[in-house]
Structure 1
Amino acid sequence: MNEPTLLQLQCFTALVAHGSFSAAAQHLNRTHPTVHAALKSLEEQLGIVLLNRDAYRVALTAEGAAFHARTLLFLRRYEELKREAAQLAAGEEPELRIVVGDLCPLPETLGMLRRFFDGSTGTRLNLLVEAISGPWERLQDGDCDLIFHHLDKPDPQIEAIALFDVKLIPVVAPGFFAGEISKALTPDDLRPYLQCVIKDSCHRPSQASYYLIDGARTCSVADQLMKRELIVQGLAWGHLPQHLIASDLKEKRLLSLEGHHFRGATLPHYAARRRDVAHGPVAEKLWAQLRDGQANPVR
C-alpha cells in the first residue's frame, strides 16, 4: 500500500470542514478534480470508505470519523513541527501567540506583557481574548503559545504559573430586584429574574457553566464590559469581577448580592502552556520572567 500523501490528508480534512468538493477545492486553492482524485486515491490506499456521498453534503462513515480524528491530530502536529523548524532557523520566534481570558484584569495583564516586550522588539505579540473554555481550546489545539486564564482542573500535559486571584461578586442595579436585598436571598428568589452570562467562545461543545440558576431566564454577551453595562442599566443581574466594578460598588451603581446562599468566588489565574511542545527562546524568556514573580496580585 502506498503511503497517504500530505495533500490527500489536507483534501480530506478540508472536505469534511467545508462540506463539498468545490468548497474544499476553493479553500485549498486547488481544482475540483484534484480534490476528488485525492480522496478517491486515499480511500483506495487505505482500503476503507471514508465518505458517504449519497447525501447533499458529504458525510463521514464510522471508519471515516475515526480516521478523521487521527488525521486532524497528525496535521496539527505537522503544523507545529513546521513552526518549530522556522523558530530554529530564525533563532527567535517572529511572533508569540498569547490568549487572555475574559476575567483577567487588563492593566495588570498587559503591564506584564509590556515589560517583557519592551526588551523583545524583534518578536511580534499576537494577542487574542477568549471566554470560559475558549482559552483552553486554543491551547489544546496548538493555536497559541500560552494563555492567561483560570485553571479548572489539573492536567499533566499543562504547566502553570500562579499570577493573581480574581474575585467574582453577584451584583444587581438598585431597583432591579423587587424584594429586599439581604444575606438570606436564595436561588429561588432570583429565579424569576433575567440572569446575564458570558457566552463561551469555545467552538466545540463544552459542559462549563458558572453560577447559573437552574430554570432561570438568561441572556448572553461576549465580554465582561458589555455584561457590566447591561447589569448597571438594570436589564439583568449576574456575577462580575471585583476589579471591574469596584467603583460601581463604592458609588452604589451596583449592589452586592453576596450572602448565605450567593457567595462570591475567587478564581486563581495562571499563565499556562503545554509541556509536550517545544517552545522557542523568546517564549522561554517570557516564561522565566513570569516564573520569577513579575505579576501583580489582584484582589
Structure 2
Amino acid sequence: MLNVFVLANGRLVQEEIEDAAGLARARPVWVDLEAPSPVEKGWIAARFGVTIPEDIVDDDLEESARFYEEDNGELHIRSDFLIGGEDAPHNVRVAFILKEGVLFSVHAEDLPVFRLLRLRARRTPALIEDAKDVLLKLYDADAEYSADQLEGIYDNLEQVSARVLKQDVGDQAAGAALAAIAREEDLNGRIRRNVMDTRRAVSFMMRSRMLNAEQFEEARQILRDIDSLDSHTAFLFDKINFLMDATVGFININQNKIIKIFSVASVALLPPTLIASIYGMNFKAMPELDWSYGYPFAIGLMIASVAAPFIYFRRKGWLR
C-alpha cells in the first residue's frame, strides 16, 4: 500500500495515488509504504531514484547497519515500533530513508503510531514543516504510545493484585493470574526494548547534525520523555516479580494442603495397621479364637488408635 502525504496550509494531507503519473505530479514530504508491491517500488525508484531492497525490514540486520548515511546523501534508519493490545503484542521493524527533503518509511504492518501522527497532523496546523519533523513526530508519538501501554499494564496488574492478594486463590484462579502476569511481563519487556531503540534513533539524528535548533531541542525533549519511562518499566518488572512470587506461593500452599491430608492419613493409619498385623500372627493362643471379645476388642483398639492421632493433630492446629 502506497500512502503519499503533502503539506497543505500547514497540515499533513494524504493524496490518492493510483498510478505512476499521479505519483509524478505529487510533491510529497512523506511517502509511507506498507507491505509495498514490486510495482509500487518501481514507481518510487522511477520518481525519486530510491531503491527499496527486499530485505530492507529484515530482523536479522546487523546493529551497525541500522543507522548510516549513503554517499549520495540518503540517510537510512531502522527502528522498531510497538503494536500493543491484548492479542499478541509485538515489535515491527520500520525502515526510514530520508532523501532530498522526502521521508520514505517501509514496514510490513499498519502501526498505531503512524495512525496517531496522521490524525494529529490533519487536525493541528503547523505541526510539521518538513520531512525531519515527520520523523521526529513519529518518535515522539512512539514514546507517548509506549507510555499509554505502560498505563494499561498498571491497570491490568491492579486487577491481578485484587484477585491474588484479596481473595482465596484456588489452582484455577492462580493459573489465570499467572497467565495474565506473563502477558504483562512480555508487553513490558517489549516496551523497554522499543523505547531503547527509539532512544538510539533519536540520538543518531542529534549526532548527525541534521536537525536545526528547534528540532534539536525537540529531540532532547523526546529523550527526556523516554528516560522517564525507564523508571516505570523497572517498577513494573519488580511488581510483576512480586505478583509472580505471591501467586506461586499460593499454589505451593494449596499443594501443601493436599500433601498434608495424605501425611495425616498415613500417620493415622499406621497404628491400626500394626494392631491388625499383630492380631494376624499365628500364635498358639489367638485372642479372637480363645476370647469371645477378641474381635470387638481388636476393632475398638484400631478405632481408638486412629482417633488418637487426629485428636492430637487437631489440638496442635495441624488440620486447619
Range class of TM-score, shorter chain: under 0.3
More strand by share: 1
TM-score with structure 1 setting the length: 0.27
TM-score with structure 2 setting the length: 0.25
Find the structure with the greater CA-based Rg: 2
